[in-house]
Amino acid sequence: MANPLDHPLFDRVSHYINLINFLVLIITGWFIHSPFPGMPMSLIRNLHFIFMFFLIINGIVRFYYSFFGKYKDYDSFFLTGQDIKTIWPQTKYYLFIGKHPKTGKYNPLQKLAYIAMPIMAVFQAITGLILYWPVKLGSYASYFGGIAAVRGIHYIIMWLFIAIIAIHVYLVFTEAYEMFWLMFFGKTEHKKGI
């Protein structure tokens, strides 16, 4: 049974904000990549840029809270020796070819994803800024192999985010459905009237 303290209110609000940020960024990013005639591209680009800042600010606040907040949880994300041993069994379990290994609050693949996402967000922000201001920041594109490479990196990272989010949603509804109710409603089980 899930424990409400696994996801205190601050974590849940941060999660809501990230959900909104990622939805807006993915949708506007897709339209920037594949626009169609008559789209208000200035508005779409500005929304994309604004929500990038919301994502970064939320990430910084969440990072700070994980070390200094009431419910410090930074140590939940560190890979341990046991996690290293469990990576392959956990992978086999997810591929339907092995048994579910015993893990802590987060399994090692979750920890890797949660460690990777902020790093990916930083690269996404940097490449996004270069794309948004190609004249002012175009000289930095050379560090990535040119403006076309920057665009490609930005696009690939978007798909990595989509893949991680899709897997996360799938696993929540197939492996930890009670966590859905806990994360969104602060309750450990569905009750009529919610």
Q: For 96-132, what is each residue's pLDDT tens digit?
A: 999 999 988 889 999 999 999 999 999 999 999 999 9
Q: What are the residue ranges in the chain where pLDDT is below 50?
A: 1, 192-194
- Cβ pair 88, 51 in contact under 8 A: no
> What was the pLDDT predicted at 105?
81
What pLDDT shows up at residue 189? 63
Q: Is the pTM of this model over 0.95?
A: no
Of 181, 170, 1, 179, residue with least CA distance to 96: 170
Cβ atoms within 10 Å, residue 63: 12
Dihedral angle, C-alpha 3, 5, 10, 12, nearest 10 °: 0
The first and second tokens of residue 27, run together, are 């949708």
What is the spatial distance between Cα 22 and Cα 123, in angstroms, rounded to a whole number? 15
Structural domains present in the chain:
4-55+111-185 (1.20.950.20)
Instruction: Provide the pLDDT for residue 175.
Output: 83
pLDDT given for residue 8 in this prediction = 82
What is the structure's pLDDT at 149? 96
Residue 5 is predicted with a pLDDT of: 59
Specify the pLDDT at position 194: 46
Residue pair 113/94 in contact (Cβ under 8 Å)? The answer is: no
